[in-house]
């Protein structure tokens, strides 16, 4: 009789065989294939998210001494020597009126023209360096108003003014005061890109400070037909009223004297300064002459007015307010043509006596001193553009008309 295993035993044997086969496959996979965790490098932890501080912001760990900032230190050292300059000039203006008999007459009304600028005290006895165009309005009276950085007010006299260099020397007449002053021996190396600081009174806001960099050197800039060369360009804010003030570096050394800015709708941050290489020799020479340590330079052999006569055949004189009233012309000034030489360039161009010169090139001319100095070197064949006023009488009314005439020097 055959022995048979119970049904329960068969099921147990079958389950045991399947379990052993599963273990064999698992051991084979581990030995022949690396796990995914073994093949890949560990993933770095994610950085913590930056969040804005909540609540009150913590103060700095310690106090910051702002007085040690370079620009703050420069301003503290230089500003006491920077002044505000106010120049004025009374200009007669005429208004046409009718009297009770309906006769036309001209009534004079005085009008005050004003210019503002800055300056730099360069000696303890009150000599001030500034731009010539800042004090141009006061050239006749030779006096301007000065306000120190402390608010103290003085009157200064124009000692000398050089339109070609656009520099002027002033003097405060008060021997009882020792003024804070800037030593012109401290000069900057004037390196491209160096930080510069402009001090002055833009639009009359005294004790103003702006800064930028030295953007370029050896620039040229044209103002009213006069070309200024070898200027420094900067992006520091230089506005009307800054002219004549100092431009310094972070050591407080002189870079130059602020002079002008380029203006236009799409133009920003282009200002110009006269470099110290020009300013310092000019100032030292002017000081030496003013103090009697050096004789004044010789006057030019030919004045601009004489050059107009020799090269163009014109004799001129300044138009006075009384003459303007008699001629019934409404202009602030000019040069009246008193004689035209026969056969001269002026005569050939049809210029006549009684015409009034109000401009040469792009420069406005109200009196003889406004004539460009370039006329003193006028050579034959050189062209000169004159702006003239012609007057034509129609009954009791004088009609005035502006014309431009191009002359060739003989």
Instruction: Express each pLDDT in 76-99 by its tens digit.
Output: 999 999 999 998 766 566 666 666
Tokens of 95: 């208004």
- Per-residue buried b or exposed e for 347-376, using 16+ beta carbons within 10 Å of the residue's own CB: eebebeeebbbbbbbebebbeeebbbebbe
Q: What is the mean pLDDT of the chain?
A: 82
The single-letter DSSP state of residue 372 is: -
The four Cα atoms 90, 371, 275, 235 give a dihedral, to 10 degrees, of: 70
Determine the Cα–Cα distance for residues 312 and 405; give it in Å rounded to an integer.
12
Q: Pick from 6, 282, 273: which is nearest to 129 by CA?
A: 282
CATH number given to 195-277: 2.40.10.10
Q: Out of 99-108, 310-319, 393-402, which region has the weakest mean confidence (pLDDT)?
A: 99-108
**73-172 and 195-277 share one CATH topology?**
yes
Determine the Cα–Cα distance for residues 269 and 247; give it in Å rounded to an integer.
15
Q: What is the pLDDT of residue 211?
A: 97
Q: What is the pLDDT of residue 46?
A: 63
Q: Pick from 139, 163, 168, 117: which is nearest to 286 by CA?
A: 168
Q: Which residue has the higher pLDDT, 373 or 36?
A: 373
Kindly report the number of other CB atoms within 10 A of residue 84's CB atom. Answer: 24
Q: Out of 154-158, 177-181, 235-239, 372-376, which region has the weakest mean confidence (pLDDT)?
A: 372-376
User: In this model, does residue 195 exceed pLDDT 70?
Assistant: yes
Q: Where are the domains of the chain?
A: 73-172, 195-277, 304-408
Q: What is the pLDDT of residue 339?
A: 93
- Report, as an integer, the average pLDDT of 198-202: 95
User: In this model, does residue 62 exceed pLDDT 50?
Assistant: yes
Tokens of 161: 């003014």
Q: Pick from 198, 190, 183, 372: which is nearest to 287 by CA?
A: 183
Question: Which pLDDT band, with edges at 50, 70 and 90, does 146 fall under?
Answer: very high
The four Cα atoms 113, 116, 120, 121 give a dihedral, to 10 degrees, of: 50
159-163, long-range: CB < 8 A, 24+ apart: 159/127, 159/286, 159/290, 160/286, 160/289, 160/290, 161/132, 161/135, 161/136, 162/132, 162/282, 163/132, 163/133, 163/136, 163/226, 163/373
Q: What is the pLDDT of residue 25?
A: 47
Q: How far is CA 152 from CA 80, 122, 128, 179, 317, in A?
A: 11, 17, 15, 11, 41
Q: What is the pLDDT of residue 37?
A: 47
Work out the burial of residue 234: count CB atoms within 10 Å of its CB; fewer than 13 is exposed, 13-18 middle, 19 or more buried. buried
Q: What is the pLDDT of residue 59?
A: 74
- The class level of CATH for 304-408 reads mainly beta
Determine the Cα–Cα distance for residues 261 and 258; give it in Å rounded to an integer.
9
CATH architecture group of domain 73-172: Beta Barrel (2.40)
Q: Out of 4-13, 41-50, 180-189, which region has the weakest mean confidence (pLDDT)?
A: 4-13
Q: Out of 97-111, 191-205, 238-252, which region has the weakest mean confidence (pLDDT)?
A: 97-111
264-269, long-range: CB < 8 A, 24+ apart: 269/212, 269/235, 269/237
Q: Out of 24-33, 48-57, 218-227, 286-295, which region has the weakest mean confidence (pLDDT)?
A: 24-33
Determine the Cα–Cα distance for residues 340 and 357; give it in Å rounded to an integer.
13
User: In this model, does residue 114 exceed pLDDT 90?
Assistant: no
Q: What is the pLDDT of residue 386?
A: 95
Q: What is the pLDDT of residue 32?
A: 40
- Report, as an integer, the average pLDDT of 245-267: 87
Q: Which residue has the higher pLDDT, 226 or 375?
A: 375
Query: Any idea which residues carry the catalytic annotation?
Result: 133, 166, 243
Whether the CB-CB separation of 359 and 371 falls below 8 Å is answered with no
User: In this model, does residue 198 exceed pLDDT 60?
Assistant: yes
User: In this model, does residue 36 exceed pLDDT 60?
Assistant: no
The four Cα atoms 323, 328, 330, 331 give a dihedral, to 10 degrees, of: -30
């Amino acid at each position: 009789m055959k022995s048979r295993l119970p049904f329960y035993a068969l099921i147990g044997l079958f389950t045991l065989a399947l379990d052993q086969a599963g273990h064999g496959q698992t051991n084979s996979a581990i030995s022949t294939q690396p796990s995914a965790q073994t093949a890949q490098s560990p993933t770095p932890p994610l950085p913590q998210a930056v969040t804005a501080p909540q609540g009150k912001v913590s103060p700095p760990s310690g106090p910051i001494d702002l007085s040690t900032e370079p620009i703050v230190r420069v301003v503290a050292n230089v500003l006491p020597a920077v002044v505000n300059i106010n120049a004025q000039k009374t200009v007669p203006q005429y208004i046409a009126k009718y009297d009770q008999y309906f006769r036309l007459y001209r009534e004079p009304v005085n009008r005050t023209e004003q210019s503002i600028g800055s300056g730099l005290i360069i000696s303890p006895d009150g000599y001030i360096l500034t731009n010539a165009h800042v004090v141009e309005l006061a050239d006749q009276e030779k006096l301007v108003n000065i306000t120190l950085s402390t608010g103290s007010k003085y009157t200064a006299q124009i000692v000398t003014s050089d339109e070609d260099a656009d520099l002027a020397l002033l003097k405060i007449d008060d021997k009882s005061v020792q003024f804070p002053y800037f030593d012109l021996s401290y000069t900057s190396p004037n390196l491209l890109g160096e930080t510069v600081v402009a001090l002055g009174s833009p639009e009359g806001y005294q004790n103003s400070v702006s800064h930028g960099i030295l953007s370029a050197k050896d620039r040229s800039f044209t103002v009213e037909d006069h070309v200024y060369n070898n200027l420094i360009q900067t992006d520091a804010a230089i506005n009307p009223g800054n002219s004549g003030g100092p431009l310094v570096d972070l050591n407080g050394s002189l870079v130059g004297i602020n002079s002008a800015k380029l203006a236009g709708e799409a133009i920003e941050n282009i200002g110009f300064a006269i470099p110290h290489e020009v300013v310092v020799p000019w100032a030292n020479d002017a000081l030496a002459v003013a103090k009697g340590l050096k004789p004044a330079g010789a006057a030019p052999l030919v004045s601009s007015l004489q050059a107009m006569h020799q090269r163009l055949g014109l004799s001129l004189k300044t138009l006075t307010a009384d003459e303007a009233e008699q001629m019934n012309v409404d202009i602030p000034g000019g040069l009246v043509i008193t004689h035209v030489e026969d056969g001269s360039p002026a005569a050939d161009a049809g210029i006549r006596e009684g015409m009034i010169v109000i401009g040469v090139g792009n420069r406005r001319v109200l009196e003889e001193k406004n004539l460009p100095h370039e006329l003193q070197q006028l050579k034959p064949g050189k062209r000169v553009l004159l702006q003239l006023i012609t007057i034509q009488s129609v009954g009791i009314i004088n009609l005035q008309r502006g014309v431009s005439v191009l002359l060739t020097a003989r």
